[in-house]
Amino acid sequence: MAQFLLKRLLQVILVMFVISAFCFGIQDSLGDPTRELAAMSMSDEERENLKDTLGLNDPLLVQYGRFVGRAVQGDLGTSYFFKEPALTVILKKLPATLELAFAASIIIITISIPLGVFCAIRPRHWFAKFTMAVSVIGISIPVFLTALALIFIFSITLGWMPSFGRGEIVEVWGYWSTNFASWDGIVHIIMPAIALSSIMLPLFIRLVRAEMLEVLSSEYVKFARAKGMDSLTVYFKHALKNTMLPVITVGGVQIGIMVAYTILTESVFQWPGMGFMFLEAVNRSDIPLITAYIMFVGFLFVIVNTLVDLLYGLINPMVDLVSGK
């Protein structure tokens, strides 16, 4: 176990290093941040002064060295726009994004598993066929279109749902701002979560269905039937748990990806999370924030993968993380 975690730690460090080097490598094409920091009419001399104070005129390697030196101490630079340490900004935005991804995951899980299982058990049922057809269409609808359609129907036309933002948020544990502690917050998170889940939902339904079908055709399911188990036991005890194994590996990683892919949903709903923050940072050439965000997402990926592996090991007795196999 310790070895497994140690390996992952080394992996994190490597990922961070590669990402930061990459970000510095492409820094020049991220644009000139002084354009966003100062007036158009500012003189060239003043602009150069500003660049000097920002350290942008130093050779790239010097800048990178300085960055790594600070990064080791946990300082990923200061956002030009937020005027705060980039990491602080990201951590402030993190709850919004994680809660959104969490809500979307809840929607995905509660819908995709029953639907996927149903489609596998009753493949000829009209509802199964309908679900599969809709999921094919669903995959090809871009998320911003879903989001705008939701806003148009439920906010503008019907006036039932708020159109943007997080609504009333409550601080818990001193730091975490949550949507789930007030009715207003819950109402605000519904549509963004639906929009975000809409990308992954069809994928998950198909995944659950495909895995379930495969499991249902396996010998042990046949053997369970042969030893007299009724259909419910066969489906929900023997088949479902096995179905969940690949769903966890693929799905866990997908949900991890979702955290990084909240950008579109967040910008349509003006959701004050990391994704929207990143988009803005790119628009503003807020290089420290861009770099810190990408590094953070890389970190998140490794964390998610580790969690998925741990969970997988918990469910699958054949995987023994403790002995490092």
Partner 1 sequence: MTLLTIKNLSIEFPGRHGTERAVDEVSFDLSPGEILGLVGESGAGKSTIGNGIVQLLSAPGRVSSGDIFLNNTKISTFSSKEIIKIRGSRVGFIFQDPMTSLNPLFTVENQLVETINKNLGIEDRKEASRIAIDLLDQVGIPDPEVRIKQFPHQFSGGMRQRVVIAIALAGDPELLIADEPTTALDVSVQDQILSLIRKLCRERQVGCLLVTHDMGVIASVTDRVAVMYRGKMVEIGKTAELLTSPKHEYTKSLISAVPRSSKKIERFPLVEYIETTAKGLKHIDVKTHWLGQGTRHENIQDLLEIKDLNLSFVTRDAFLKKNRKYLQATSDVNLTVKQGETFGLVGESGSGKSTIARMVAGLQKPDSGSIKFDGVELVDNPDPVAVQQARLQMQMVFQNPYSSLNSRMKVDDIIAEPIQFHRLAPAQEIRTIVGDLLDHVGLGRAAGLKYPHEFSGGQRQRISIARALASRPRLLICDEPTSALDVSVQAQILNLLKDLQDELGLTMLFISHDLPVIRQMCDRVAIMRHGRILETAESEDFFEHPQNEYSIELLGLMPRFDKIYEVEATV
Partner 2 sequence: MKNRFLLTTCLVMASLLSFTTANAKDLRLAYDADPVTLDIHEQLSGGMLQLSHMSFDPLIRWTKDLAFENRLATSYKRLNPTTVRFNLRKGVKFHSGNPMTAADFKWTFDRLKVSPDFKGIFANFTELNVIDDHTIDLVTSGPYPLVLHTSTYIFPMDSKFYTGTDANGNDKGAIVKNGASFASTNMSGTGPFKIVSREQGVKIVFERFGDYWDKQSPGNVDRIIFTPIKDEQTRVAALLSGDVDFIAPVSPNDFGQIKAASNAELITMPGTRIITFQMNQKRKKELQDQRVRMAIVHAINNEAIVEKIMKGFATTAGQMSPAGYLGYNPKLKPRYDLKLAKQLMKDAGYEDGFSVTMMAPNNRYVNDDKIAQAVAAMLSKINIKVDLQTMPKAQYWPAFDDRAADIMMIGWHSDTEDSANFYEFLAMTPDQSTGMGVYNSGNYSSDYVDTTTLAANRETDSAKRAEMLQSIEAKIYQDAGFVPLHWQNLAWAARKGVDVDPIVNALNFPYLGDLVVQ
Q: Using CB under 8 A as the criterion, which residues of the chain lie in contact with partner 2 when the complex forms?
A: 28-32, 35-46, 49-50, 53-54, 78, 80-84, 148, 151-152, 155-156, 159, 161-166, 267-270, 272, 276-277, 279-280, 282-285
Q: Are 97 and 275 in contact (CB under 8 A)?
A: yes
Measured from the CB atom, is 189 or 224 closer to partner 2? 189
Q: Judged by CB under 8 A, which stretch of 95-103, 113-121, 192-200, 240-248 contacts partner 1?
A: 240-248
Rule CB under 8 A: is residue 230 a binding residue for partner 1?
yes
State the alpha helices, DSSP H only, in the chain.
Answer: 2-25, 34-37, 44-54, 60-72, 86-121, 126-140, 143-150, 183-216, 219-226, 231-233, 240-260, 263-268, 274-283, 287-315
Which of partner 2, partner 1, none does residue 270 bind to, with CB < 5 to 8 Å depending on kind?
Answer: partner 2
Query: What is the separation, in whole angstroms, between the first and last Cα of the chain?
Result: 10
Q: What is the CA radius of gyration of the chain?
A: 24
Report how far residue 154's alpha carbon sits from residue 160's, in angstroms, rounded to the nearest whole number.
5
Report how far residue 279's alpha carbon sits from residue 267's, in angstroms, rounded to the nearest whole number.
8
Rule CB under 8 A: is residue 218 a binding residue for partner 1?
yes
Report how far residue 121's alpha carbon sits from residue 238's, in angstroms, rounded to the nearest whole number.
13
Which of partner 1, partner 2, none does residue 73 bind to, with CB < 5 to 8 Å depending on kind?
Answer: none
Rule CB under 8 A: is residue 11 a binding residue for partner 1?
no
Q: How far is the CB of 234 from partner 1 (least distance, A)?
A: 10
Rule CB under 8 A: is residue 227 a binding residue for partner 1?
yes
Q: How far is the CB of 324 from partner 1 (least distance, A)?
A: 7
Question: Which residue has 């701002």 as its token pair?
Answer: 177
* Residue 256: both structure tokens together: 């991890």
Measured from the CB atom, is 72 or 226 closer to partner 1? 226
Which of partner 2, partner 1, none does residue 226 bind to, with CB < 5 to 8 Å depending on kind?
Answer: partner 1
Q: Are 196 and 260 in contact (CB under 8 A)?
A: no
Measured from the CB atom, is 43 or 233 closer to partner 2? 43
What is the four-CA torsion angle of 305, 306, 308, 312, rounded to 10 degrees?
Answer: 130
Rule CB under 8 A: is residue 224 a binding residue for partner 1?
yes
Rule CB under 8 A: is residue 44 a binding residue for partner 1?
no
The residue ranges that bind partner 1 (CB under 8 A) are: 3, 6, 218-220, 222-230, 233, 237-238, 241-242, 245, 315-318, 323-325
